[in-house]
Amino acid sequence: MGERPPGINFIRQAEVVARLLGVLPSESILHSSEDTRPYECDGLSAYRQMPMVVALPANEDEVRAVLQVCHALKVPVVARGAGTGLSGGALPLGEGVLLSLAKMKRIVSLDPVARLARVQPGVRNLAISEAAASYGLFYAPDPSSQIACTIGGNVAENSGGVHCLKYGLTVHNVVRVRGFTVEGEAIEFGSEALDAPGLDLLALVHGSEGMLAVITEVTVKLLPMPQIARCIMASFDDISAAGEAVAAIIATGIIPAGLEMLDRAAASAVEQYAHSGYDLAAAAILLAESDGTPEEVEEELPRVIEVLKRSGASAIRVSRDEAERLKFWAGRKAAFPAVGRLSPDYYCMDGTIPRKRLAEVLRFIGQMEQKYGLRCPNVFHAGDGNLHPLILFDANDPDQLARTEAFAAEVLEKCVEVGGTITGEHGVGVEKINQMCIQFSPAELEIFRAVKTAFDAAGLLNPGKNIPSLHRCAELGGMHVRGGKLPHPELPRF
Of 69 and 436, which has the nearer Cβ to another protein? 436
Continuous segment of H or E residues that includes residue 332? helix 322-333
Q: Which amino acid is at 121?
A: P
DSSP-based three-state secondary structure for 250: helix
Concatenate the DSSP letters of all residues of 424-476 into one string: SSS--TTTTHHHHHHHS-HHHHHHHHHHHHHH-TT--BSTTSSS--HHHHHHH
In whole angstroms, the minimum distance from the beta carbon of 242 to another protein comes to 14
In whole angstroms, the minimum distance from the beta carbon of 303 to another protein comes to 10
In whole angstroms, the minimum distance from the beta carbon of 407 to another protein comes to 19
Of 11 and 113, which has the nearer Cβ to another protein? 113
In whole angstroms, the minimum distance from the beta carbon of 252 to another protein comes to 8
The β-bridge relationship of strands 97-100 and 53-55 is: parallel
Of 168 and 277, which has the nearer Cβ to another protein? 168
- Distances from the Cα of 375 to the Cαs of 265, 368, 369, in angstroms? 9, 9, 6
- Distances from the Cα of 54 to the Cαs of 31, 36, 37, 106, 321, in angstroms? 6, 6, 10, 21, 47
Which parts of 54-150 fold into alpha helices (H)? 60-73, 125-132
- Of 19, 21, 38, 181, the C-alpha closest to 98 is 38
In whole angstroms, the minimum distance from the beta carbon of 63 to another protein comes to 15
Of 255 and 280, which has the nearer Cβ to another protein? 255
The β-bridge relationship of strands 116-119 and 258-263 is: unpaired
Contact 335, 266 (CB under 8 A): yes
Cβ count near 188 (within 10 Å): 15
In whole angstroms, the minimum distance from the beta carbon of 95 to another protein comes to 24
Q: Which residue(s) pair with 117 in the sheet? A: 110, 220
Of 195 and 475, which has the nearer Cβ to another protein? 195
Of 80 and 432, which has the nearer Cβ to another protein? 432
In whole angstroms, the minimum distance from the beta carbon of 204 to another protein comes to 5
In whole angstroms, the minimum distance from the beta carbon of 301 to another protein comes to 11
In whole angstroms, the minimum distance from the beta carbon of 62 to another protein comes to 20
Q: Which long-range contacts (CB under 8 A, 24 or more apart) does 198-203 make?
A: 202/171, 202/174, 202/175, 202/176, 202/177, 203/171
Residue 58 makes CB contacts below 8 A (sequence gap 6+) with 28, 103, 104
Contact 240, 358 (CB under 8 A): yes
Contact 430, 423 (CB under 8 A): no
Of 33 and 421, which has the nearer Cβ to another protein? 421
In whole angstroms, the minimum distance from the beta carbon of 398 to another protein comes to 28
Of 186 and 479, which has the nearer Cβ to another protein? 186
Of 337 and 419, which has the nearer Cβ to another protein? 419
Burial of 247 (0-12, 13-18, 19+ CB in 10 A): middle
Of 233 and 353, which has the nearer Cβ to another protein? 353
In whole angstroms, the minimum distance from the beta carbon of 319 to another protein comes to 19
Contact 289, 381 (CB under 8 A): no
CA distance 122 to 4: 29
Of 250 and 316, which has the nearer Cβ to another protein? 250
- Distances from the Cα of 271 to the Cαs of 376, 424, 450, in angstroms? 17, 26, 48
Of 192 and 397, which has the nearer Cβ to another protein? 192
Give me the helix-helix angle, 264-274 and 322-333, nearest 10°. 120
φ, ψ dihedrals at 161, nearest 5° = 150, 180
In whole angstroms, the minimum distance from the beta carbon of 159 to another protein comes to 9
CA atoms within 13 A on the CB side of 108: 16
